[in-house]
A and B are shown apart, each in its own frame.
Chain A
Amino acid sequence: MTTHLKDRVEFHSAKPEGVSVNVPTEDHVRITTPAKVCGMGHRMKRKEDPRFIQGHGRYVDDVKLPDMLYMDIVRSPYAHAKILKIDASEALATPGVIAVITGEDLKKAGNLHFMPTLMSDTQMVLPIEKVVYYAQEVCCVIATERYIAADAIEKVVVDYEPLEPVIDPFKALEDKVIVRDDKETKTNHIWHWEAGDKAATDAVFASAATVVEEQIYLPRIHVSSIETCGMVANYDKVRGHMQIYMTSQAPHAHRTVFALVSGLPEHMIQVISPDIGGGFGGKVPIYPGYVCCAVASLILGKPVKWIEDRSENLQADSFARDYHITARLAADQHGKIIGLQVKTLSDCGAADAAANPSKFPAGLYSICTGSYDMKAAHVTVDGVYTTKPPGGVAYRCSFRVTEAVHMIERMVDVLAHQLGEDPADFRLKNFIRPDQFPYKSPTGWEYDSGNYKAALDLAMTMIDYRALRKEQLEKRARGELMGIGISSFTEVVGAGPSKDYDILGIKMFDSAEIRIHPTGKAMARFGTKSQGQGHETTYAQIVAEELGLPAADIQVEEGDTDTAPYGLGTYASRSTPTAGAAAAMAARKIKAKAKKIAAYLLEVGEDDLEWNVDSFHVKGSPDKKKSIQEIAFAAYTNHPQGMEAGLEATDYYDPPNLTFPFGSYICVVDLDSGTGEIKIRRFVAVDDCGHIINPMIVEGQIEGGLTMGLAPAMFEEIVYDENGQNLTGTFADYLLPTAVESPKWELGKTITPSPHHPLGAKGVGESPTVGAPPAIANAIVDAMWHLGVRHLDIPVTPQKVWRALRKAGVTD
């Protein structure tokens, strides 16, 4: 049944308390602690690195348990086919093969052949009637050794009757072939969603002086973390206890899902997410392989390991993007943007298994008015089933923000060119001004703070924008092709306020628990889970900032659901906005108790005390003081009568609003007019993520994110043939940038703190992935605009450029 979600448009308009209009922008990182404390702003070397550089990281595939069995998966060679028969007799007769599990087996085990998706749809774990995508899991083999399992899957004989595949999402809407005939309503249309005011937008367009329109496709791509997905499930039949090592970005949420689906009591499930080799959204969903592995251990009572191959990972795990967009942008007679209309078709594959908050089937896509002040906007998205792998994960992005940013930044460039205005000047003219914050957008968002002009001004100065435009004119006169592309993006991260944000009903708060030991060392545990972001360092620096304990003395732990406080995990740049805030709040609770203890020890009233870096001292007597370490010792040895012993606190932080990082990127390209070769000459990235916890880590996040933005802009695309076969199922065909393709990024920063985050921080990990693709695409189109080229879909390859040049008669 089609679900209309129009009534959910106004969900994210919570006005944060204590908002001050026009938060001032700073240009220096704030440091308030000495190097020995190493609080916020210090370039602390990462605490997690010694184990990684010495080969002592512990990833899921490194887990080896006694009597462990290995699972491998038989996959479908068809995108759409009836299953007539599965004959596993030869596989089962192979020495070392313990079991073969089919969809029928899962059905008998309690209807486990289907599982719920994060979007409240259903997805096959193992099929019974038919397969609905190429490389779909058909059945799994469990054996005593990895190689025996791999041999045995070749011996399982499956008879298929091929059905017509559904590859084109527009044709899917015709409902001639139904992908999900297991459902009551026989249609491929899943949902319709919209935001903004249609009537107001129509009226604005009717009055417009200029309207531009483009078809923009953001192709299917894949996160391709270098570590694939995997699990070791270890069910102890005697204790009734299930221990799961899993590549999980959200271990607590996954534990709850396992409990709900399997019927095992939640306190008897322990999910351990050990070191994770990159996530980028791909380790948020639960894949069929995980469920099969857990069920195999449950049935056999032995540990079972499943580690997917890269080709399985690329062909069957959740994709990102796959948005077909028609966008129209309107301006008045003064060249002022007045309205945006967007129609979108979302190719969901064979299940709506997107990793979005429950109420947001199109994620946070309605941020699509971006950094620009306009009167009205209306955006629609329709979800459709096709016979492709399900998904819709973020690819290092906060729930469909990349799609929104790419669309608006391309459209702003097209409109600027159409009006004959410089794209930088056009942006400066149309930006939301600093004095308009907190800014209410036409699609219902309340931006917390921003200073878009400051960021673009800095980027233009760094790259000497005006000189580049002059050079471009000179080159053009000589027939040389040079382009300059700008992207002035607004991100929206840190989901999120529990009023609107949940995953399967679980509110999207996050948590921190801090325990100070008697000797002044501390343990801090979190509901998030680092996959390379450096939480062990940044969280320690937050606690150090608040309590004055050296960051080196604070041990950060995440990922074990038996010990960490409940949280929703790490994705969508939410760790700093949520768990980072929780760390500050928990530390402040500890500080409040520490003050009472200090007052007792110094025999003064609490009001007589002042805090300075790491100690309370008596006002006017800086020598009369107690350090946090002395207070910690006293909390266990000499605390006031009537007070509980110990020094610890937990905080579950529910953010009042999301945070809105932003930035301006400028890319300069030179095109070879004969071959279409694209050379990125320079790329300047100015980011504003509010107050910075560790500048080194922030730079690392930005550089990595930029390369992950370059990837879909120029290289990566999951391609299917007309039969639904994946033509890009290995790294030989799906091209990740190497060190040779990745440019030397030039970074700059402005600092406009979030007014509602306890530390003024905003989150940064995904801004560059969101902001980079349109800067690159805009630069390439800018080089060819005078030849009549208005738009090229990403990935913009030399072949696409060469074709456009050929069409323009520049090359032959």
Chain B
Amino acid sequence: MSQHEITVTVNGTPRTRKVEARLLLVHFIREDLCLTGTHVGCDTTSCGACTINLDGEAVKSCTVFAVQADGARIDTVEGLADGATLHPLQQGFWEKHGLQCGFCTPGMLMCAKAFLAQNPNPTEDDIRHGISGNLCRCTGYNKIVEAIQFAADKLREPKGT
């Protein structure tokens, strides 16, 4: 299997690694970079637990080869908070009880981050469709929807002076 050197900017830091051509991006993130917040929940691109942001787009990293991400910007759940300050989505999930077992949570957060960038003022129905590629088995989704609404409201607030 051919090896390729790739450079990816992960959570703001450029990372260079030699990888097999067939290495999935999710395994690159989890195994090579040891960022285990991104999870694997299925093998058919159905569950969304592996969702990351690739150049700002929500992408299921189980269906992208690491070599395809060469030169790209990747954001994972580990880079969501600003230092000690939680991202409004993280605050929302905590405040509104938007998680139980936590396994789908990183994928939900990264899906919601890209979604809110595109649709900063969503309706409830918009949010439900926006996260419909991500499965949660614990919460029944209502509190996830509330958490994303909480974050949308917070993100629309004028920045403090």
| Contact residues in A for B30 (Cβ distance below 8 Å) | 61-62
| Contact residues in A for B94 (Cβ distance below 8 Å) | 45-46, 49-50, 53
Query: Least Cβ distance of B74 to chain A in Å?
Result: 13
Asked, given contacts A278-B103, A742-B140, A742-B141, whether A310 binds B97 with beta carbons under 8 Å apart, the answer is: no
Is B39 touching A227 in the complex (CB atoms < 8 A)?
A: yes
Tell me the residues in window 578-595 of chain A with beta carbons closer than 8 Å to chain B beta carbons: none
| Bound Cα distance A532, B143 (Å) | 14
Query: Least Cβ distance of B68 to chain A in Å?
Result: 17
| Contact residues in B for A745 (Cβ distance below 8 Å) | 140, 142
Is B44 touching A310 in the complex (CB atoms < 8 A)?
A: yes
Which of A59, A228, A739 has the most chain B CB within a 10 Å cutoff?
Answer: A739
Choose among A147, A278, A534, A744 the residue that contacts B137 (Cβ–Cβ < 8 A): A278
Tell me the residues in window 97-112 of chain B with beta carbons closer than 8 Å to chain A beta carbons: 97, 99-106, 109
| Contact residues in B for A58 (Cβ distance below 8 Å) | 36
Is B90 touching A226 in the complex (CB atoms < 8 A)?
A: no
- Tally of contact residues, A, Cβ under 8 A: 59
Which of A51, A53, A146, A277 has the most chain B CB within a 10 Å cutoff?
Answer: A53
| Bound Cα distance A462, B108 (Å) | 32
Using C-beta atoms within 8 Å of the partner chain, give the interface range for chain B: 35 or more
Choose among B23, B102, B143 the residue that contacts A703 (Cβ–Cβ < 8 A): B143
Query: Least Cβ distance of A318 to chain B in Å?
Result: 16
Choose among A50, A705, A730 the residue that contacts B43 (Cβ–Cβ < 8 A): A730
| Bound Cα distance A532, B100 (Å) | 4
Which stretch in B2-10, B53-61, B77-85 binds the other chain? B77-85
Is B105 touching A52 in the complex (CB atoms < 8 A)?
A: yes
Tell me the residues in window 676-717 of chain A with beta carbons closer than 8 Å to chain B beta carbons: 696-697, 699-701, 703-708
Query: Least Cβ distance of A130 to chain B in Å?
Result: 28
| Bound Cα distance A57, B80 (Å) | 15
Whether A381 is near chain B, meaning CB under 8 Å from some CB there, is no
Is B27 touching A146 in the complex (CB atoms < 8 A)?
A: yes
Q: Mark B45-59, 1 if CB is under 8 A from A, else 0.
A: 011010000000000
| Contact residues in A for B143 (Cβ distance below 8 Å) | 699-700, 703
Is B137 touching A732 in the complex (CB atoms < 8 A)?
A: no
| Contact residues in B for A534 (Cβ distance below 8 Å) | 100
Whether B35 is near chain A, meaning CB under 8 Å from some CB there, is yes
Is A739 touching B47 in the complex (CB atoms < 8 A)?
A: no
| Contact residues in A for B34 (Cβ distance below 8 Å) | 64
| Bound Cα distance A64, B141 (Å) | 32
| Bound Cα distance A742, B99 (Å) | 16
Choose among A277, A706, A708, A744 the residue that contacts B102 (Cβ–Cβ < 8 A): A277
Q: Closest residue of chain A to B81, judged by CB?
A: A54
Is B44 touching A730 in the complex (CB atoms < 8 A)?
A: yes
| Bound Cα distance A482, B35 (Å) | 50
Whether A311 is near chain B, meaning CB under 8 Å from some CB there, is yes
Query: Least Cβ distance of B143 to chain A in Å?
Result: 6
Is A226 touching B41 in the complex (CB atoms < 8 A)?
A: yes
| Contact residues in B for A309 (Cβ distance below 8 Å) | 43
Whether A670 is near chain B, meaning CB under 8 Å from some CB there, is no
Choose among B38, B139, B145 the residue that contacts A700 (Cβ–Cβ < 8 A): B139
Is A739 touching B127 in the complex (CB atoms < 8 A)?
A: yes
Choose among A227, A533, A704 the residue that contacts B103 (Cβ–Cβ < 8 A): A227
Is A225 touching B137 in the complex (CB atoms < 8 A)?
A: yes
Asked, given contacts A532-B102, A704-B100, whether A739 binds B132 with beta carbons under 8 Å apart, the answer is: yes
Choose among B97, B101, B145 the residue that contacts A276 (Cβ–Cβ < 8 A): B101
Is A59 touching B39 in the complex (CB atoms < 8 A)?
A: yes
Is B139 touching A703 in the complex (CB atoms < 8 A)?
A: yes
Is B101 touching A532 in the complex (CB atoms < 8 A)?
A: yes
Q: Mark A624-651, 1 if CB is under 8 A from B, else 0.
A: 0000000000000000000000000000
Is A278 touching B36 in the complex (CB atoms < 8 A)?
A: no
Asked, given contacts A49-B93, A55-B78, A531-B101, whether A731 binds B37 with beta carbons under 8 Å apart, the answer is: no
Is A57 touching B103 in the complex (CB atoms < 8 A)?
A: yes
Whether B95 is near chain A, meaning CB under 8 Å from some CB there, is yes
Whether A736 is near chain B, meaning CB under 8 Å from some CB there, is yes
Asked, given contacts A62-B36, A224-B137, whether A147 binds B43 with beta carbons under 8 Å apart, the answer is: no
| Bound Cα distance A310, B49 (Å) | 12
Which of B42, B46, B76 has the most chain A CB within a 10 Å cutoff?
Answer: B42
Whether B156 is near chain A, meaning CB under 8 Å from some CB there, is no
| Contact residues in A for B41 (Cβ distance below 8 Å) | 226-228, 277, 310
Is B42 touching A55 in the complex (CB atoms < 8 A)?
A: no
* Contact residues of A: prevailing secondary structure: loop
Whether B64 is near chain A, meaning CB under 8 Å from some CB there, is no
Is A730 touching B101 in the complex (CB atoms < 8 A)?
A: no
Is B99 touching A53 in the complex (CB atoms < 8 A)?
A: yes
Asked, given contacts A56-B37, A742-B140, whether A696 binds B80 with beta carbons under 8 Å apart, the answer is: no
| Bound Cα distance A326, B140 (Å) | 32
Asked, given contacts A53-B93, A53-B109, A739-B132, whether A277 binds B139 with beta carbons under 8 Å apart, the answer is: no
Tell me the residues in window 3-36 of chain B with beta carbons closer than 8 Å to chain A beta carbons: 20, 22-23, 27, 30-31, 34-36
Whether B136 is near chain A, meaning CB under 8 Å from some CB there, is yes
Choose among A48, A696, A732 the residue that contacts B46 (Cβ–Cβ < 8 A): A732
Whether B138 is near chain A, meaning CB under 8 Å from some CB there, is yes
Query: Least Cβ distance of B110 to chain A in Å?
Result: 10
| Contact residues in B for A621 (Cβ distance below 8 Å) | none
Whether B144 is near chain A, meaning CB under 8 Å from some CB there, is yes
Tell me the residues in window 23-54 of chain A with beta carbons closer than 8 Å to chain B beta carbons: 45-46, 48-54
Q: Mark A273-311, 1 if CB is under 8 A from B, else 0.
A: 001111010000000000000000000000000010111
Whether A738 is near chain B, meaning CB under 8 Å from some CB there, is yes
Choose among A57, A61, A224, A706 the residue that contacts B40 (Cβ–Cβ < 8 A): A61
| Bound Cα distance A318, B99 (Å) | 25
| Contact residues in B for A278 (Cβ distance below 8 Å) | 100-101, 103, 137-138
| Bound Cα distance A534, B139 (Å) | 12
Is A226 touching B37 in the complex (CB atoms < 8 A)?
A: no
Choose among A55, A146, A700 the residue that contacts B100 (Cβ–Cβ < 8 A): A700
Whether B154 is near chain A, meaning CB under 8 Å from some CB there, is no
Whether A740 is near chain B, meaning CB under 8 Å from some CB there, is yes
Whether B135 is near chain A, meaning CB under 8 Å from some CB there, is yes
Query: Least Cβ distance of A806 to chain B in Å?
Result: 30
Asked, given contacts A59-B39, A310-B47, whether A707 binds B140 with beta carbons under 8 Å apart, the answer is: yes
| Bound Cα distance A55, B102 (Å) | 9
| Bound Cα distance A56, B77 (Å) | 9
Whether B159 is near chain A, meaning CB under 8 Å from some CB there, is no
| Bound Cα distance A745, B96 (Å) | 15
Q: Mark A742-775, 1 if CB is under 8 A from B, else 0.
A: 1011000000000000000000000000000000
Is B78 touching A54 in the complex (CB atoms < 8 A)?
A: yes
Query: Least Cβ distance of B105 to chain A in Å?
Result: 5
Choose among A703, A731, A738 the residue that contacts B132 (Cβ–Cβ < 8 A): A738
| Contact residues in B for A742 (Cβ distance below 8 Å) | 140-142
| Contact residues in B for A226 (Cβ distance below 8 Å) | 39, 41, 47, 49, 101, 103-104, 135-137
| Contact residues in A for B102 (Cβ distance below 8 Å) | 48-49, 51-53, 57, 275, 277, 532
| Contact residues in B for A59 (Cβ distance below 8 Å) | 36, 39, 103
| Bound Cα distance A52, B128 (Å) | 22
Q: Closest residue of chain B to A733, judged by CB?
A: B44
Is A704 touching B128 in the complex (CB atoms < 8 A)?
A: no
Asked, given contacts A706-B140, A731-B42, A740-B129, whether A277 binds B103 with beta carbons under 8 Å apart, the answer is: yes
**Closest A-B pairs by Cβ, 3 of them:** A55-B37, A277-B103, A532-B101
22 residue pairs from A and B, CB less than 8 Å apart: A53-B77, A53-B109, A55-B35, A56-B78, A225-B103, A227-B103, A278-B103, A278-B137, A310-B46, A310-B47, A532-B101, A696-B97, A699-B97, A700-B143, A703-B143, A704-B100, A706-B140, A732-B46, A738-B141, A739-B127, A742-B142, A744-B124
**Other contacts beyond A58-B36, A61-B39: 17, CB < 8 A:** A52-B105, A53-B77, A55-B36, A277-B102, A310-B43, A311-B44, A532-B99, A532-B102, A532-B103, A534-B100, A699-B97, A731-B42, A732-B46, A736-B135, A738-B128, A738-B135, A738-B141
Please report B residues at the A interface, Cβ cutoff 8 Å.
Answer: 20, 22-23, 27, 30-31, 34-44, 46-47, 49, 76-78, 80-81, 86, 90, 93-95, 97, 99-106, 109, 124, 127-129, 131-145
